[in-house]
Structure 1
């Protein structure tokens, strides 16, 4: 990175991991005092406002200090600006940070400011809502809607919720249009991937390239308990594409309709319900700070 480009750190004080760390003291320890400002979020959506204002105020880099939700909010505020996104991971999933090889420990992520470079990545929207890793509907959207109301956070709570709700969820029908083709399908999961993973090294689209201008679409039509175990193994070993239980497509744009409204997520965060989904990719539309190597 050019010598300590002026950086705005946006901290989500409620993010799940490493809450005992004094993030502000660590920032002051790792960077020259005149090279940054620090603000904290106060409500949902606040990080987007702060990031957008930071870009207007001339900050070259705006750093999201938090989990995937905070990263999504900050990145949304930087779209269409000249500011670059940096990530200090402090969540449980850290999907975009992992894809970009950002160190997961806060001190190591701050050390990155001494040896980094700028790069551009694709961004996407689902029904107009920006996302940077994955979005989708089906079982993952259903889980996101329940998890949003869950007082307990973290990976363990998420896994417990999946195990509890798996047998309750019934796949619906969807009509899908992509690459000038239409087809109807059962739909347990329909995931739109810009990056390779959900987070926690769960690779839903291990072949995804965040700079190729294409969405990687993963369709799982139906899933018995036995198949779910095979898919879970595939997620953790990057072998889901060869598991025989998932289908993959590459496209720049996709539309899907369902008969009933279904919950959907963007970067793991519950967005709402819809019965029509329009997903697009915007090539190389966000600048990010990544390791120089």
Structure 2
């Protein structure tokens, strides 16, 4: 028997709650979304709570944009990092007034692991909203430019290769690590031209807003998601054993303190894959890339 305790009827921070989820997810997002919907009905009976399933890739962004354009909603993405990226970008498209949160239902859940302070349901009931930074990625210039926000990181080189290796392999801790090791064979160094004209040949470059990424790795000891800075985790081109050693260190003791800056800019020399919050994209050769911190741009809780 469930015993209901009296509590706040409607948190003042938002006027309704919308749960966005992928009904086809292999991580049972639909089950988690419906369970949260039921729990919120008990805990906040006066609050409007809607379930919005996605139908295709990118639909989460469109749904969040529409929801965020009216009032001050709380949008909960029942997903992994990629699904939450869609919701965050949709909320920013809709004016940035919405509060956003994630109920972890993905493979890595890096953002939730890095930013979790309390159970999500308790934070929703209490209406405890705080603000965190976002990373704004701009690729290209003038009419050819496009941009996207990242809640956690933007990675080049090793990071998207690892993501593709995990996606293509068997799921599970040891199997995923074996898949990552196998992808080292496909890793090619890349070259970037910095704003001062200097060039660098790298195996990996990660610009991070959180301490954890790639499910197992701790990439920074100093980064905080609301400090106005991003961490630069860079690996110059080296022998494969050095890359493996860095990966082993990341998943055991962590990589330690990293350089912190408010923005990072470079130009690609060759076509270059990137990974933004779990989603892999491609950048053309001779294209400018700017990643900058938008300080406390996102209202969140949990």
For Structure 1 versus Structure 2, the TM-score category normalised by the shorter chain is: 0.7 to 0.9
Distance, in Å, in 1 between the alignment partners of 2:236 and 2:296 is: 31
Q: Which segment is superposed worse, 188-197 or 165-174? A: 165-174
- Aligned residue runs from structure 1 range 1-293, under 5 A: 3-4=10-11, 5=14, 6-18=16-28, 21=31, 23-31=33-41, 32-35=44-47, 36-79=49-92, 80-101=95-116, 109-115=120-126, 117-126=128-137, 127=139, 128-144=147-163, 150=168, 158-177=176-195, 183-241=198-256, 248-275=258-285, 276=287, 277-290=289-302
Distance, in Å, in 2 between the alignment partners of 1:205 and 1:39 is: 35
Q: CA deviation at 1:274?
A: 2.7
Q: CA deviation at 1:95?
A: 1.2
Distance, in Å, in 1 between the alignment partners of 2:125 and 2:275 is: 35
Q: CA deviation at 1:45?
A: 0.9
Distance 1:160 1:34, change over 3 A: farther
**Aligned CA-pair RMSD:** 2.7
Considering Cα pairs closer than 8 Å and 6+ residues apart, tell me whether 1 or 2 has the greater RCO. 1
Q: CA deviation at 1:189?
A: 0.3
SS at match of 2:199: strand
Structure 1 gaps of 5+ residues are: 243-247
Q: CA deviation at 1:124?
A: 1.1
Distance, in Å, in 2 between the alignment partners of 1:16 and 1:215 is: 32
User: 1:41-83: CA deviations, max 9, x gaps?
Assistant: 1111111111111112324211101111110000111123211
Structure 2 gaps of 5+ residues are: 1-7, 140-146
Q: CA deviation at 1:240?
A: 1.1
Is residue 68–residue 268 contact of structure 1 (8 Å, CA) maintained in 2? yes
TM-score in terms of structure 1 length: 0.83
